[in-house]
Structure 1
Amino acid sequence: MDAVNAEATAVGLDWLATAGPLLVWAIVLSFVFVECALIVGLFLPGDSLLFAAGVVLAQHDSEGQAWALSGVALVTAVVGNQVGYYVGRQTGTRFIARRGGRVLNKPNLDRAKAFLDRRGFLAIVAARWIPWIRTLAPLVAGAAGMNSRRFMLATTAGAILWVPTLVLLGFYAAGLLTSIPWLNTVLVWGSVVFFVFGTAYGVWRYRQEMRKPVDDRTETASA
């Protein structure tokens, strides 16, 4: 651990040694829930955040923390999707699409629904790996009346394949690069910078989209 901290300080990453895994947990769990449950999550860099979390935990040599975070974030992702599902079941999708929206628009909602109609169970599993589908799929599934138990099984299977894969990939990739300090530094800084700027850009995009009027012609038909 002392060696890791010394290396972090040497390359200008000493703030990682003081931030602590607790901060990583707080950020990851809150972002994963928002991305899986709320429309604003459509614009957040969930994949890069999970990978970056593994990289940061590797700086603390916290293998147990990486595995534990994978498990808790997995549960959070499932709970978030359940919230999205029930929001869709209660309100449909008529308040989501925006006239002139670049992401929140009727064609994207129609594509999400068509993807769900064609693939069903497998669509919810695969949706974890498709950023904008990941957030829209639970809402569309709820609005379309997909069986709640079937949805729960599918979203759980998807979360198992998504969350631990990215967190542990970041952790072990960073661990393998400890013998190449400059490359390890690039990986850490790249993850952090991408996450920070990705989040700022996502919030800006969300605000731009929400300023547009609601496209009240849009409603997902019940299955």
Structure 2
Amino acid sequence: MEEFHISQLINPEFYINLEIAGHHIGIYVVLFIVFAETGLFAGFFLPGDSLLFLSGIYSTALMKELFTIESDFVNVALLATFVALAGILGNLFGYWFGAKSGNYLYNKKDNFIFKKKYLYESKVFFERHGGRAIIFARFLPVVRTFAPIIAGIVHMEFKRFMFYNIVSSFLWATTLIFAGHYLQVYLLESFGVDLKDYIEYIILFLVAVTTLPIVLKLMKRKKQED
């Protein structure tokens, strides 16, 4: 067994291949992380987009932990559905927490896990885009963690919230999981390139792409303040 290092906690491949007592539990860990990242404000540091993309690459192995299905498409579709449902439940919990906590988070002091600036940034993002923020937020790290909480705090109409919640979750899950799976299939069959050999580069690329909008926004705000 490889020696554990704390840096593995931000490596999505670590969660996908995790096993306990000889039993692979990757699928359960993936679903919990999706729930935590979208429903628990402490989950913003967990890998999200890269985890889903890699889950698509490892979809066959992940689904075998539950049951074996011959159809490759059905395997990927079921995985995307399970992930989408976990995202829906996560957002629903976040909405409930926001509705119940009210202004508690705004009065909460910063600590290692919680940073109030993330809450304010998500609130501005939510107010600017309205219900569509729930959809946009799915593809933005940190923001997707706080968007449902903000929706609850401002008492967004529940039916409206659930509509955007369901649409965004399925869009997020299917886009990334199907992209990861079928890009792997295409490159492997056409060029003999196995994406599993380039996981580190894929993670770095996805992190750069998903964080770029936030970085640009912060730079623009700083320029305006100056």
Structure 1 residue 136 corresponds to structure 2 residue 138: no
- SS of alignment partner, residue 32 of structure 1: helix
- Quick one: which of 88, 93, 96 aligns to 1:86? 96
* TM-score with structure 1 setting the length: 0.68
* TM-score with structure 2 setting the length: 0.68
Preserved CA contact (<8 Å) 2:60 2:75:
no
Supply the AA of the counterpart residue of 1:56.
Answer: Y
- SS of alignment partner, residue 44 of structure 2: helix
Supply the AA of the counterpart residue of 2:118.
Answer: N
Preserved CA contact (<8 Å) 2:118 2:146:
no
Structure 1 residue 44 corresponds to structure 2 residue 35: no
CA shift for structure 1 position 183 = 4.6
Instruction: List runs of 5+ in structure 2 lacking aligned partners.
Output: 1-15, 65-70, 208-226
Deviating more after overlay: 43-52 vs 153-162: 153-162
State the match for 2:164 in structure 1: 154
Cα offsets for 1:173-201 (capped at 9, x unmatched): 1101214345534235656xx49xx9xxx
Distance 1:127 1:143 in 2: 16
Distance 1:111 1:54 in 2: 30
Distance 1:68 1:158 in 2: 17
Preserved CA contact (<8 Å) 1:89 1:145:
yes
Within 5 A, what are the aligned runs for 1:94-133?
A: 94-95=104-105, 97-99=108-110, 104-133=114-143
Structure 1 residue 186 corresponds to structure 2 residue 197: yes
Identity %: 30
Name the structure, 1 or 2, with higher relative contact order (CA <8 Å, separation 6+). Answer: 1
Preserved CA contact (<8 Å) 2:80 2:170:
no
Supply the AA of the counterpart residue of 2:170.
Answer: I
Instruction: List runs of 5+ in structure 1 lacking aligned partners.
Output: 1-15, 199-223
